Amino acid sequence: MEETRAVLEKLIKENSLDFEELLTLITGLDDGVRFRLRAAAGGLRDKIYGRRVFMRGLIEFSNYCRNDCFYCGIRRGNDVVRRYRMTSREILERCGTGYEMGFRSFVLQSGEDLWWNEERAAALVRAVRVRFPDCAITLSMGEKSRAYYQKLYDAGADRYLLRHETADPRHYGMLHPEGMTLENRVRCLMDLRDIGFQVGAGFMVGSPFQTAENLARDLMFLKNLRPHMVGIGPFIPHSRTPFGKMSAGSLEKSADMVAITRLLLPEALLPATTALGTLEARGREAALDAGANVVMPNLSPQENRKDYSLYDNKISTGEEAAESRERLEKRLKAIGYQPEYVRGDHVSYKQRAYSI
């Protein structure tokens, strides 16, 4: 208890802890320590980004996937899910709708869909870049070759999200089938960063077999990698996966991880994730109060939303939907945040010239 408080104070002061200290903090959290942790993380976010919350329109443009991750509802082995793939034209249309709503930051996410080869994906990015020159383009399409990532960057993409999922290779092996490795995931993150992307890593909280040591290792990994963005959300089971009967991660622990991440990486862009909002109505607010500063309302076409089913009961309506952004805005303002429809770059970002 005393020890936990001491390491927390050290984290707040130095924005750094070693593995053992992180472990002490994670395993020793009680309500009192938690309150101090979240308040310090929220305060640090306020100091760096203010009470602004960056809004991003999320377009889930294909649920085809060549991978078979044990936790994910759109894994290849799920033959019940209806597969869809939006056309470039449909994707541009959704960006157009988002632009009219005010969004200046789009996140294009998909399964690892091989139809989207580098030529097609680069052409899509170029089209979005030309039509929306004042918007940030974030991609999240999984593991690709360095050459593929380079093409996407050259076409005008700014950011790339690729959660590392777990920084322990053994745990990674328990969540993924043979052939998928943490090593390649990290290779991708390094390539993305070298190329010049603002890079997002991240992990699930409460994923099957996860230990406190795993979480401490995830946090050490983030501290060393220093990504621009970190996506953290609870694991939620999907009935049509091998983990369908496992229990979900907790909101409290997820928000704690967001808070520790804010303290380790003061300048990071941290989303209040959809998974948190799915778990509990107040999940998003809890993440913001723990130091998050990004919200990504769903801008996918209505008819596809239920099919981008990463986990059971994934929310895509109500305040999660871009169409109801006014309701979401009200809720954010009610707890003292200012929703902002801007590119929302990392503070270190320097405007680049797009060579298109």
Minimum CB separation from ligand SAH for residue 109, in Å? Answer: 5
Minimum CB separation from ligand SAH for residue 193, in Å? Answer: 15
Minimum CB separation from ligand SAH for residue 62, in Å? Answer: 9
Told to check if 298 binds ligand SAH by CB under 6 A, we report no
Told to check if 233 binds ligand SAH by CB under 6 A, we report yes
Q: Which stretch binds ligand SAH (CB under 6 A): 40-48, 148-156, 229-237, 321-329?
A: 229-237
Told to check if 109 binds ligand SAH by CB under 6 A, we report yes
Told to check if 57 binds ligand SAH by CB under 6 A, we report no
Q: Which stretch binds ligand SAH (CB under 6 A): 47-55, 161-169, 213-221, 260-268?
A: 161-169
Told to check if 116 binds ligand SAH by CB under 6 A, we report no
User: Nearer to ligand SAH by C-beta: 242 or 301?
Assistant: 242
Told to check if 235 binds ligand SAH by CB under 6 A, we report yes
- Give which of 256, 251, 257, 333 is closest to 295, Cα–Cα: 333
Told to check if 305 binds ligand SAH by CB under 6 A, we report no
User: Nearer to ligand SAH by C-beta: 11 or 286?
Assistant: 286
Among 22, 40, 72, 135, binds ligand SAH (CB under 6 A): 72
Told to check if 165 binds ligand SAH by CB under 6 A, we report yes
- Give which of 199, 82, 188 is closest to 145, Cα–Cα: 188
Told to check if 310 binds ligand SAH by CB under 6 A, we report yes
Task: Estimate to the nearest angstrom the gap between the alpha carbon of 152 and the chain centroid.
Answer: 19
Minimum CB separation from ligand SAH for residue 309, in Å? Answer: 9
Among 68, 93, 112, 345, binds ligand SAH (CB under 6 A): 112
Give the 3-state DSSP-derived string for the chain, with helices as H, strands as E and coil as C. CHHHHHHHHHHHHHCCCCHHHHHHHHHHCCHHHHHHHHHHHHHHHHHHHCCEEEECEEEEEECCCCCCCCCCCCCCCCCCCCCCECCHHHHHHHHHHHHHHCCCEEEEEECCCCCCCHHHHHHHHHHHHHHCCCCEEEEECCCCCHHHHHHHHHCCCCEEECCCECCCHHHHHHHCCCCCCHHHHHHHHHHHHHHCCEEEEEEEECCCCCCHHHHHHHHHHHHHHCCCEEEEEECCCCCCCCCCCCCCCCHHHHHHHHHHHHHHCCCCECECCHHHHHHCCCHHHHHHHCCCCEECCECCCHHHHCCCCCCCCCCCCHHHEHHHHHHHHHHHHHCCCEEECCCCCCCCCCCCCCCC
Tell me the torsion sign for CA atoms 215, 199, 70, 248: positive
Among 11, 41, 199, 275, binds ligand SAH (CB under 6 A): 275
Binders of ligand SAH among residues 34 to 53 (CB under 6 A) are none
Told to check if 70 binds ligand SAH by CB under 6 A, we report no
Count of positions on this chain that bind ligand SAH (CB under 6 A): 18
Told to check if 142 binds ligand SAH by CB under 6 A, we report yes
User: Nearer to ligand SAH by C-beta: 93 or 112?
Assistant: 112
Told to check if 90 binds ligand SAH by CB under 6 A, we report no
Contact positions vs ligand SAH (CB under 6 A): 71-72, 109, 111-112, 140, 142, 162-163, 165, 204, 233, 235-236, 238, 275, 310-311
